[in-house]
Structure 1
């Protein structure tokens, strides 16, 4: 008897597409999720998942089990049971860090001539300096999730001149972080939204590419200064596993360096203007358009 496959099949039947932010298409012959939907959410091939349910694959990794437990919305006891059926002990779940050390925030601000930001494995931007906010259009606005910026917002395609390359790299980096803790609630939320709303993301996610971000040259088109090319350097934040620090810089003396300096000058002007108060005005004035 294939107890692992039976358990997966029964749990799959209890999860509805809208519970995992998937859109249901056409007539559904079985209750709950289809096999290909579970495979997509868990980041495994459909063939592999079918072999698990049929008992032809009996040694899934802890990473795969974590992903399946999250995809099937298993409670803690259900997750323990899934691991026991596979003959493994569950891994300790560590939530995505959202706290940025104050000293690191000070360091970001100290790099006044280079855009710098910190994001977590869900690609939420947790902190950034003024120049980073100005580069990405966040000055005076909430910072966005980088994946949602790339795949869900029109300004993402306008900002990145090599959008296809940026998209592939972003998905591969996100999958690597996802593999470190597939049960992380915030990572799962971002994944479900992108799978439900972006065909481009879904196509790239299905390729199962996972790789760490490397130093790279990125070409931007900024609405105020036009095209510029910046090199990014990425560093792990040791005090907060899952967080990464990214610093962008331009080649000294290049047109891109001049453009970056102009972005900084405009940002300072807007900050000064937004801090101004009219007599009797109780709220902040919106950012000034250049």
Structure 2
């Protein structure tokens, strides 16, 4: 919001929405839910009173009244978080409150009620094409069978996608696009790292990479930056020959800490047909060794 030039009409609409949103959220929280005695008295309006929200949030009653009236006042993230806590806002509602108040919303938080079961079904449904799931530090959370046959993902690896890219000799021997993709992958990792420079998880992965791969270090020192996106991969599978796929990294709104990486066959080298054969009973019998890529 801070970087967007807001028109007068847009601001007026936003403040009206802020007023209506706060009133609706306040009305749904009972005194008992907020930890207050209801006293058995009949209330003119449902939910909490403005003064009660102010006291519970630790802000002035007049200030909260102005906020709920949609007045153009200064707000801070700390105060909005206190109001969100009192009004029992969900993660999505808290972010919405920030936007209505004219602040940049915080990063989405993982939803506690959204596990990985649906994501497992997603990557399994992507068969016979490779797919895997990784966290913010490129740790592999799960992968489907095709990712094992084609990308060489297997239990004995480090289970970190970028570390394995630079240290798995099988992967490198099968990849025709290794040098080109190495530059892209390091640039993408630097972009992710630069947004969280004090994160110990990123520092640990970076330390492992420097210790394991001089090639990574040389690319890292180029200081190239690139957003995550589509990468073309050319892989030499010992059973079916050359495979040409396109990997796409997708963020998961319900789990912002995770990324789904889907590999789509390109219209070259009969890649789709080869992947389908590898998933067939005949192909499974022939796939005695994991193949990198």
TM-score range normalised by the length of the shorter chain:
0.5 to 0.7
Deviation (angstroms), 1:131: 1.2
Deviation (angstroms), 1:143: 6.8
SS in 1 for 2:246: strand
Query: Which residue does 2:49 correspond to in 1?
Result: none
- Please point out which of 246, 262, 276 is paired with 2:277: 262
Deviation (angstroms), 1:217: 2.2
SS in 1 for 2:280: helix
Query: Which residue does 2:127 correspond to in 1?
Result: 112
SS in 2 for 1:122: coil
**Is 1:155 paired with 2:170?**
yes
Q: Is there any run of 5+ residues in structure 2 with no aligned partner, and where? A: 1-105
Q: Aligned pairs, how many?
A: 181
Query: Which residue does 2:150 correspond to in 1?
Result: 135
- Contact 1:218–1:231 at 8 Å: present in 2 too? yes
Change (3 A) 1:178 1:242: farther
Whole-angstrom distance in 2 between the partners of 1:195 and 1:249: 31
Whole-angstrom distance in 2 between the partners of 1:120 and 1:190: 12
Query: Which residue does 2:261 correspond to in 1?
Result: 246
**Is 1:226 paired with 2:241?**
yes
What are the superposed Cα offsets for residues 74-119 of structure 1, whole Å, 9 maximum, x if unpaired? Answer: xxxxxxxxxxxxxxxxx99x99xxx962111111111223211111
Q: Please, what TM-score do these two structures have when normalized by structure 2? A: 0.54
Whole-angstrom distance in 2 between the partners of 1:289 and 1:174: 30
RMSD: 3.1
Change (3 A) 1:263 1:208: same
Deviation (angstroms), 1:231: 1.5
Query: Which residue does 1:278 correspond to in 2?
Result: none
Whole-angstrom distance in 1 between the partners of 2:191 and 2:282: 34
- Please point out which of 167, 175, 182 is paired with 2:190: 175
Higher-Rg structure is 2
Q: Please, what TM-score do these two structures have when normalized by structure 1? A: 0.55
